[in-house]
Structure 1
């Protein structure tokens, strides 16, 4: 079991959804509340449906280990256009959920609000066109001057930080970047973290 969160710290739980079988999927469906289950049923794309379910399951497993409660006992309230609200236990950590491709992640902190974003780096995307649209001509020109690999990394760093700050709901705060072979990972926090976030990569077995 991972240790409790350090004072003014955070952890990021990362899951490769390809490791999850159909039996586990059926189990995690039973953990959803009524509103979550209704939203799950409305997804048309199987990948998006799987991302949603595993994001909620991963959050429950991570939070359950932190609080020493059964993951299925954790109740979340759906909020359209916003992150879910923790209903039970009444006192719990701050959290943020993200997904990209076959990866799903959640971040937890006992002391400060969080915004997490993960992005699967795709060399086939026209990152210069995306940068012009999202960040403006100056940023696109700076990216264009870089070698291809550096350009891809810099674009996804900008993209992930912008998304993480959006989820956090503020331009201020502190952001940390975590290294990963496939992903761009950025965690932003309302208050500076005392140390770098811990990255926990594992399956979803609740025990």
Structure 2
């Protein structure tokens, strides 16, 4: 995983009538390629970069930590998209899918960049794709939950078996690998955790990541299909997965992973 320091130029603001081009040293996002960025939650996230709607949503969050994560995540994705597109962070606008998943407005760039954001504890994980929808999830490896009870309720029989067949010391890691895979898949189409997670599996008996969402009475039609899952490198104490529809890339899945040591304007 490569580390980069991301430093950019300031924007004159979305409503100023002037827009500063944004140029920072980021790797190019080639067609069919996927990038992941692991970032620390920014306690001083610049809310001035956010849109009026984003600021309104932030103001409605009563919990200070959750509000901080919201502002940090939205500021970070604006800065990253600015680096990939050359559009100033505050000038970026979004379209939304019918399920509410945000995406970069196609009117702003010739790149159909798709992205997914996840945060946990004090870390942000952002996945970006130049061609095809992407879903990502990161979880802090908590030791205060009954993961087997959760697995029995939400995982398939084969996934539960894959966890129980592993040594006791490795079962929690297998649980989080399975959980992040499932959540990443639901976020590809912006479904979230509305569907029955036991209707599809992400963990085989050998604990390898694999997924095929098949028709089921409780499975949304938009979620069905074959997905390509990949474990994302993280710092100790975290687990993360990224998912894309397999048809997007065929058998190839170019994935480049980065840690941002700083994102500032």
Question: The TM-score by the shorter chain falls in which range?
Answer: 0.7 to 0.9
Larger proportion of helix: 1
Q: What is the CA deviation profile of residues 89-111 of structure 1, one whole-angstrom value per residue up to 9, with x for unaligned ones?
A: 25441111111111112111111
Within the candidate set 85, 94, 101, 1:76 is matched to 94
Give the alignment partner of residue 116 of structure 2, picking from 65, 74, 96.
Answer: 96
Q: What is the TM-score normalised by the length of structure 2?
A: 0.68
- Is there any run of 5+ residues in structure 1 with no aligned partner, and where? none
Deviations, residues 13-66 of structure 1 (Å, cap 9, x unaligned): 11111xx343xx2xx211111211111111122221111111111111111111
Cα distance in 2 between the residues matched to 1:79 and 1:130: 30
Q: Which has the larger radius of gyration?
A: 2
Residue 178 in 1 paired to residue 232 in 2?
yes
Partner of 2:263, secondary structure, is: coil
Corresponding pairs, count: 201
Where 1:200 maps in the other structure, the secondary structure is strand
**1:132 match: secondary structure:** helix
Look up the SS of the partner of 1:97 in the other structure: strand
| 1:10 counterpart residue number | 34
- Paired position in structure 1 for 2:263: 205
Residue 192 in 1 paired to residue 249 in 2? yes
Superposition TM-score, scaled by structure 1 size: 0.85
Q: Is the Cα contact below 8 Å between 1:97 and 1:107 reproduced in 2?
A: yes
Equivalent residue runs for 1:1-207 within 5 Å: 1-17=25-41, 20-22=42-44, 25=45, 28-76=46-94, 82-87=100-105, 89-92=108-111, 93-136=113-156, 139-169=159-189, 170=223, 171-180=225-234, 181-190=236-245, 191-192=248-249, 194-206=252-264
- Using the TM superposition, give the Cα deviation of residue 155 of structure 1 relative to its aligned residue in structure 2, in angstroms: 0.5
Root-mean-square deviation (CA, aligned residues, Å) is 2.3
**Are residues 113 and 77 of structure 1, via their aligned partners in 2, closer, same or farther at CA, if it must alter by over 3 Å?**
closer
Superposition misfits of 4+ residues, deviation over 6 angstroms: 78-81
